[in-house]
Amino acid sequence: MAQHPAHDLVVIGGGSGGVRAARLAAQRGARVLLAEAAHLGGTCVNAGCIPKKLYSHAAHYRHAFDEARGYGWQVEPPVLDWPRLRRQRAAEIERLRGVYARLLQDAGVQVRQARARLLDAQTVQVGDEVVQARRILLATGAAARRPPVEGAGLALTSEQIFDVDPFPRRLVIVGGGYIGCEFASIFQGLGAQVTLLQRGAHLLPGFDEELTAFLAGELRKKGVVLRFDAHLQRLERTRDGTAVHLEGDAPLVADAVLLATGRAPNTAGLGLEAAGVRVNDKGAVEVDGEFRTSVPSIHAIGDLVDHRALTPVALLQAGALVDRLYGCEHEAPREMRYEDVPSAVFCDPPVAAVGLTEAQGRERHATLRVYRSEFRPLRHTLSGSDERAFMKLVVDDASDRVLGVHIVAPEAGDIVQGFAVALKAGATKALFDNTVAVHPSVAEELVLMRERRCAGGMSIA
């Protein structure tokens, strides 16, 4: 096998974090090689954030047709062309892959479409070549995980559901996290009858429980069937579809089953053992605060490590790492902090949050003030929809600092972005109160919740 000159950095994995790190390092003069066995863009571009959001838009159009009648529009019953939607999505994903390839090429990154694995602390096998590297970055992300139940192979994962054929009129989703809730709204909106099974008592573990209880009610209004404390036993192929057997309950029959039961770090065949890279009990690569693994020349970022599995987190990690490795003398490196990381769930209605939940706030602070508001968005006063919005602020009573913002409302993801900056800056409730509202808007409610507005749902705890 051919020996190549040393590279300053070899990146294994061409997802969001890997591409960004490779590009930024090359722009700062490093000799960079990036290896990706599949498509550039990783999960986010190919089977995650982007295609899910495109399908979410498609699902919302169905509701928009219905709501338009309340505003005087005469609309014929809409018909979904599922094959066309799939083709349109695939074309956009292909375009984005090209964008990633051009960004890397323009930065001077060498790209190899090949599987890579570690041979030692500074040696990587890339396809049938062996390359030497001063530093190595692992950015291989995570993959969908199937539960260890009989017949699990009969179900789809979130990486396969985009191209399910034919369109499933009856869809059972196992798992009530981000992926489960988003696909429940997508397929219900596109015309399927969706049943979502959740092992626990709440949707979206990790989010504020009052928020998730409100969301459950809104999903039911849309027609999604929710079943909590539902334990999957096995899946079985029948003449009428796929039978979903549950503990202590009659089986469900579906045209398709989606397993949204979590993701696991993508470490198989990566050569971690050979290089001496340690993993934790979750299978994630262990790193320190500067993304170094147990081997100083090897770093890791993104879903491969045990932090928030979000694309923007991987992007910021990539920037922080490159700043430290190849930064300018006159610029302080970016810091990667995991407090106040905003997140959004693009279900219907959307969910967004930043900061502490009420339960987390009570664990860390002596006294809280909790402000709540539930209301009907203006757009639905004529639309005929009974959808409602929910907002909640968690405030430390001693300092008046806003600790958490929690939203279920149209455009929640866009709203929370600005409030995430405010929380990072240490905004107080008084600062919220003294901010002029944008009227009429959904977001204005977050700066209008006052102690005197008891009817609006405020309470002090």
Instruction: State pLDDT tens for residues 378-423.
Output: 999 999 999 999 999 999 999 999 999 999 999 999 999 999 999 9
Q: Which helix (H) or strand (E) holds 137?
A: strand 129-138
* Residues in the chain, overall count: 461
Pull the structure tokens for residue 273.
Answer: 């053992």
Q: Which helix (H) or strand (E) holds 238?
A: strand 232-238
CA distance 366 to 370: 13
Which residues in the chain land under pLDDT 50? 1-2, 4, 452-461
Assigned CATH for 349-460: 3.30.390.30
392 is in an annotated binding site: no
338 is in an annotated binding site: no
Q: Which helix (H) or strand (E) holds 221?
A: helix 209-222
Inter-axis angle of helices 49-68 and 82-107, nearest 10? 140
Assigned CATH for 152-261: 3.50.50.60
CA distance 286 to 292: 8
Q: Are the C-beta atoms of 203 and 215 separated by less than 8 Å?
A: yes
189 is in an annotated binding site: no
Query: Does residue 67 sit in helix, strand or coil?
Result: helix
β-pairing, 389-396 vs 129-138, is unpaired
Q: How many CA atoms lie within 13 A of 233 on its CB side?
A: 11
Pull the structure tokens for residue 279.
Answer: 């993993």
Q: Do 152-261 and 7-144+264-326 have the same topology in CATH?
A: yes
- pLDDT at 3 (0 to 100): 52
SS3 content of the chain, % helix, strand, coil (to 5): 35, 25, 40
Out of 231, 330, 380, 439, which one is annotated catalytic? 439
179 is in an annotated binding site: yes
Inter-axis angle of helices 49-68 and 178-190, nearest 10? 40
- pLDDT at 344 (0 to 100): 98
- pLDDT at 460 (0 to 100): 40
Q: Write the pLDDT tens digit of every residue in 41-79.
A: 999 999 999 999 999 999 999 999 999 999 999 989 999
Pull the structure tokens for residue 49.
Answer: 């954030």
180 is in an annotated binding site: yes
Task: Give domain limits for the chain.
Answer: 7-144+264-326, 152-261, 349-460
AA identity, residue 331? E
- pLDDT at 205 (0 to 100): 96
15 is in an annotated binding site: no
Q: Give the CA-trace dihedral at 53, 57, 63, 64, to 10 degrees.
A: 150
CA distance 295 to 280: 14
At the fourth CATH level, the homologous superfamily of domain 7-144+264-326 is FAD/NAD(P)-binding domain (3.50.50.60)
- pLDDT at 451 (0 to 100): 60
Q: Which helix (H) or strand (E) holds 232?
A: strand 232-238
Task: Tell me phi and psi for residue 134, to 5 degrees.
Answer: -65, -40
178 is in an annotated binding site: yes
- pLDDT at 450 (0 to 100): 83
- pLDDT at 5 (0 to 100): 53
pTM of the model: 0.94
Give the Cβ contact number of residue 364 at 10 Å: 10
- pLDDT at 454 (0 to 100): 38
Burial class (CB in 10 A: 0-12, 13-18, 19+), 331: exposed
- pLDDT at 334 (0 to 100): 79
14 is in an annotated binding site: no
CA distance 16 to 35: 13
- pLDDT at 327 (0 to 100): 85
E strand map for 175-214 = 193-198
**127 DSSP 8-state letter:** T
Task: Tell me phi and psi for residue 43, to 5 degrees.
Answer: -60, -45
49 is in an annotated binding site: no
Q: Of 193, 190, 209, nearest to 201 (Cα)?
A: 209
439 is catalytic: yes
Q: Of 212, 166, 173, nearest to 193 (Cα)?
A: 173
**436 DSSP 8-state letter:** P
